[in-house]
Amino acid sequence: MTQTAEAVIVGGGVMGCSILYNLAALGLTDTVLLEKDVLASGSTSRSQAILRMHYSNEVTTRMAWESLRLYREFEELTGGPSGYVRTGYFLIVDESDRQALEENVAMQRRVGVETDAVSMEDVREIAPMLAVEGNECFAYEPQSGYADPYSVTTGYARRARELGAQIRADTPVTEIEVKRGSVTAVVTSQGRIETPMAVVAAGPWSGPLLAKAGVDVPLRPLRHQVVMLRRPQDIVPDHPIIGDIVNDLSARPDAGNLTLIGVGEDEFVGPDEYNQGVDMPVVEAAFARLVRRMPGMAQALFRGGWAGLFTTTPDWHPVLDRVEGIDGLYMAVGFSGHGFKLAPMIGLTMAELITQGQATTIDISMLGLGRFAEGKPLSSRYSMAVMA
Ligand SMILES: Cc1cc2nc3c(=O)[nH]c(=O)nc-3n(C[C@H](O)[C@H](O)[C@H](O)COP(=O)(O)OP(=O)(O)OC[C@H]3O[C@@H](n4cnc5c(N)ncnc54)[C@H](O)[C@@H]3O)c2cc1C
């Protein structure tokens, strides 16, 4: 094993690999990424992988929009596909959230996002499979879609390696060694790597690892379920992605006539002790709610599903920061159920923070850890925080 490196990244999910690639692209290639299992085996492997722009705050909207561009250009950047499929995205809220939706759309348009508030008639024309009502409001994003988390993660990893970075799977990090206020090494089950810089991107396992280094970050893993249905091809051949706040679900099409429904039940769990399958009562309730929105899905077949972990923070937005008081320690954690769409810009801005002292492409200062103690969390205009 390499005994020294300029920087060590902990975690081989989409974030760790994006950071590794972006560091290499900025010229920092004396790096090692350590993954306790295999690449893309954590939350990334469970992702619904929806790419949409509708958020209540500018920083996340901007990151999602710029990341969409990078997903579309992914092959030119990395040599491999991102699996981006354009489907369009509808956000659906009820009348009480009309003002919030309109304010969000206005902000997103200022940022440059291609989006609009649309009428019930517009929805019926663009997506006739959706049942919509006059007391509901809609935002539409024609460019949104989904991508493939495994292709993206391994694409970043492969290109980073070509540029000189090293990756070690099956190598759990047991401790980040800090002496006299500076990172000195990253300790693994297979030895020690001396380094002045460590980046924690360990998904739901980040909290305990940071705590061991004396850093307290309010992270709580939350179980989230994905139900898979096979569409009746003749009745619902396809559909756009929907973020349906009224029915408390998201749904996206997948290859093979599949539809993936994302449903949340507030169940905080340990990262290694949770039911990775779906609960049948949740499946039945999600199915019924989807049929309300897409009546043709009454003929759909249940094809299984899975559960994964959102690593939540109190405001459901990530912490992208250097650790105050420990030179050389950085974290990209707490993606709260919407990190995949942001991963390209997370990688770039973290790499800028690490190599240049601050992120220059997008100002990420409001995503610092200090916001919680200072009482400046980000806020959502909607009640369903994960949606926007
Ligand atoms: C069910 C579900 C649906 C989702 N849907 C969407 C969506 O539609 N759109 C969207 O944008 N986002 C979505 N997300 C969120 C998104 O998938 C995550 O935010 C993102 O994948 C997080 O990536 P990560 O690299 O931070 O974490 P992870 O993928 O968990 O990667 C962390 C890695 O670190 C490794 N690791 C942990 N501890 C150690 C250690 N001590 N030593 C070495 N390695 C370690 C783990 O094995 C893991 O591979 C969803 C998430 C889930 C669970």
pLDDT band at 387 (very low <50, low <70, confident <90, very high): low
Assess whether the C-beta atom of 44 lies below 6 angstroms from ligand 1: yes
Best probe residue, ligand 1, of 190, 205, 278 (max atoms within 8 Å of C-beta)? 205
Assess whether the C-beta atom of 223 lies below 6 angstroms from ligand 1: no
Cα distance between residue 184 and residue 197, in whole Å? 8
| pLDDT tens string 113-133 | 999 999 999 999 999 999 999
Two structure tokens written together for 176: 């980040």
Give the CATH number of domain 7-48+149-218+315-373; options: 3.30.1490.190, 3.50.50.60, 3.10.20.30, 3.30.70.1140. 3.50.50.60
Nearest to 143 by CA among 87, 196, 90: 87
Assess whether the C-beta atom of 10 lies below 6 angstroms from ligand 1: yes
Helices (H) and strands (E) in the chain, counts: 11, 20
Q: Classify residue 121 by burial, with Cβ atoms within 10 Å: 0-12, 13-18, 19+.
A: exposed
In ligand 1, which atom is closest to the CA atom of 37?
Answer: 47
| pLDDT tens string 61-108 | 999 999 999 999 999 999 999 999 999 999 999 999 999 999 999 999
How far, in Å, is the centroid of ligand 1 from the Cα of 43?
A: 3
Check: CB of residue 21 under 8 Å from CB of residue 78: yes
pLDDT band at 386 (very low <50, low <70, confident <90, very high): low
User: What number is the average pLDDT over the span 41-55?
Assistant: 98
Q: Classify residue 357 by burial, with Cβ atoms within 10 Å: 0-12, 13-18, 19+.
A: exposed
Assess whether the C-beta atom of 347 lies below 6 angstroms from ligand 1: no
Assess whether the C-beta atom of 15 lies below 6 angstroms from ligand 1: yes
Best probe residue, ligand 1, of 340, 345, 350, 384 (max atoms within 8 Å of C-beta)? 340
In ligand 1, which atom is closest to the CA atom of 204?
Answer: 30
How far, in Å, is the centroid of ligand 1 from the Cα of 13?
A: 6
pLDDT of 33 reads 98
| pLDDT surpasses 60 at 385 | no
Q: Where in the chain is the domain with CATH 3.30.9.10?
A: 92-142+220-312
Q: Where in the chain is the domain with CATH 3.50.50.60?
A: 7-48+149-218+315-373
Question: Per the confidence metrics, is the pTM higher than 0.95?
Answer: yes
How far, in Å, is the centroid of ligand 1 from the Cα of 150?
A: 11
CATH 3.30.9.10 fits 92-142+220-312, yes or no: yes
Assess whether the C-beta atom of 16 lies below 6 angstroms from ligand 1: yes
Least confident among 140-144, 225-229, 350-354, 382-386: 382-386
Two structure tokens written together for 5: 């490196």
Best probe residue, ligand 1, of 17, 43, 82 (max atoms within 8 Å of C-beta)? 43
Higher pLDDT, 113 or 385: 113
The structure tokens 């596909």 sit at 81
Check: CB of residue 193 under 8 Å from CB of residue 175: no
How far, in Å, is the centroid of ligand 1 from the Cα of 41?
A: 8
SS (H, E, C) 11-45: CCCHHHHHHHHHHHHCCCCCEEEECCCCCCCCHHH
Mean pLDDT score of the chain, rounded to an integer?
96
Share of the chain above pLDDT 70, in %: 98
Q: For residue 311, what is the DSSP state?
A: E
How far, in Å, is the centroid of ligand 1 from the Cα of 169?
A: 16
Assess whether the C-beta atom of 48 lies below 6 angstroms from ligand 1: yes
